[in-house]
């Protein structure tokens, strides 16, 4: 189930401008469609009419739920449609392609994480403390949204359109840029004879640590917590002065 790392994070419906509040659960995912070409409707079953945009958000949430299954192989439009009780044609009423569905999930990840990073950057506090908080909230988001974590590390994108992986790479580049800016303000870096080089190196180290944590979480089938010993590890990395 799609959750946020913070109460103020935007939910999927806010990212998708025409969608209602995302309250779809596993049982709700079987809600019958109002569209005439949906599999259940074609069999003459009485269907429930959904509000505009509700089917779109339901599709995205179901995709995320399917990605939360550690043993789940590549999600196809056929398996997704079957999970929803729809025809594949019905999916394409809302998304031009499966890549567009994944883009909807990536947009949710971006909006959620960038929102938190912005909040952290604007608050008072030491640059070192802010660096730790940024890494922590990204990992908290992944911990609460395992399906999204698979998208973040690229595990769910291996056989998909290349532009999806490029967009996730840009996501981490942007996090690194935010960390680099904070590091330039850090007394640790300012004490260095080459502060810009130091900031670049430390930002790259933090993002590598972040990506490694995410990979470990996903590859363990979500059994190894992304937050395990996090405070102690970050204390070593961020507090390791030259």
Structure confidence by residue, pLDDT tens digits, 61-88:
999 999 998 776 789 999 999 999 999 9
Given a cut of 60, whether residue 37 has pLDDT beyond it is: no
Q: What mean pLDDT comes out for the span 162-178?
A: 97
Dist CA 222 CA 3 (whole Å): 15
Mean pLDDT of the chain: 82
Least confident window among 75-84, 143-152, 162-171, 185-194: 185-194
The predicted pLDDT at position 73 comes to 74
The predicted pLDDT at position 145 comes to 96
Which one-letter DSSP state was computed for residue 193? S
Tell me which residue of 4, 238, 225 sits closest to 133, measured CA to CA. 238
Are the C-beta atoms of 156 and 75 separated by less than 8 Å?
yes
Given a cut of 70, whether residue 230 has pLDDT beyond it is: yes
Given a cut of 60, whether residue 91 has pLDDT beyond it is: yes
- Exposure of 58 by Cβ count < 10 A (0-12 exposed, 13-18 middle, 19+ buried)? buried
Dist CA 190 CA 195 (whole Å): 6
The predicted pLDDT at position 2 comes to 55
Query: What are all long-range contacts of 96-103, with beta carbons under 8 Å and residues at least 24 apart?
Result: 97/161, 98/160, 99/160, 99/161, 99/163, 99/164, 101/59, 101/60, 101/63, 102/63, 102/151, 102/156, 102/157, 102/160, 102/161, 102/164, 103/164, 103/167
The predicted pLDDT at position 146 comes to 96
- In percent, the amount of the chain with pLDDT more than 90 equals 62
Given a cut of 60, whether residue 46 has pLDDT beyond it is: no
Dist CA 48 CA 32 (whole Å): 6
Q: Which two tokens stand for residue 194?
A: 């080459």
Band of pLDDT at residue 194, cut at 50, 70 and 90:
confident
Domains, the chain, in order of start with CATH, read 12-97 (no CATH), 99-238 (1.10.357.10)
Q: What mean pLDDT comes out for the span 126-153?
A: 96
What pLDDT, in 10s, does the model give residues 6-19?
443 345 554 444 33
Band of pLDDT at residue 35, cut at 50, 70 and 90:
very low
The predicted pLDDT at position 6 comes to 44
Given a cut of 70, whether residue 30 has pLDDT beyond it is: no
The predicted pLDDT at position 31 comes to 33
Band of pLDDT at residue 193, cut at 50, 70 and 90:
confident
What is the model's pTM?
A: 0.79
């Amino acid at each position: 189930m799609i959750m946020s790392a913070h109460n103020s994070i935007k939910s999927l419906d806010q990212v998708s401008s025409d969608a209602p509040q995302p309250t779809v659960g596993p049982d709700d995912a079987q809600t019958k469609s109002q569209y005439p070409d949906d599999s259940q409707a074609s069999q003459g079953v009485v269907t429930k009419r959904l509000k505009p945009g509700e089917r779109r958000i339901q599709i995205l949430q179901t995709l995320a739920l399917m990605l939360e299954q550690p043993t789940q192989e590549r999600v196809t439009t056929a398996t997704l449609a079957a999970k929803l009780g729809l025809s594949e044609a019905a999916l394409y009423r809302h998304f031009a392609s499966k890549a567009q569905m994944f883009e909807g999930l990536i947009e949710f990840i971006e909006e959620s994480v960038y929102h938190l990073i912005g909040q952290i950057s604007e608050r008072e506090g030491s640059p070192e403390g802010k660096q730790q908080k940024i890494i922590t909230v990204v990992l908290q988001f992944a911990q609460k949204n395992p399906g999204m974590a698979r998208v973040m590390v690229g595990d769910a994108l291996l056989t998909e359109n290349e532009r999806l992986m490029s967009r996730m790479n840009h996501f981490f580049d942007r996090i690194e840029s935010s960390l680099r800016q904070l590091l330039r303000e850090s007394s640790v870096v300012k004490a260095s004879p080459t502060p810009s080089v130091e900031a670049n190196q430390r930002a790259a180290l933090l993002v590598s640590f972040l990506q490694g944590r995410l990979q470990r979480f996903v590859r363990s089938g979500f059994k190894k917590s992304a937050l395990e010993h996090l405070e102690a590890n970050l204390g070593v990395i961020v507090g390791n002065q030259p």
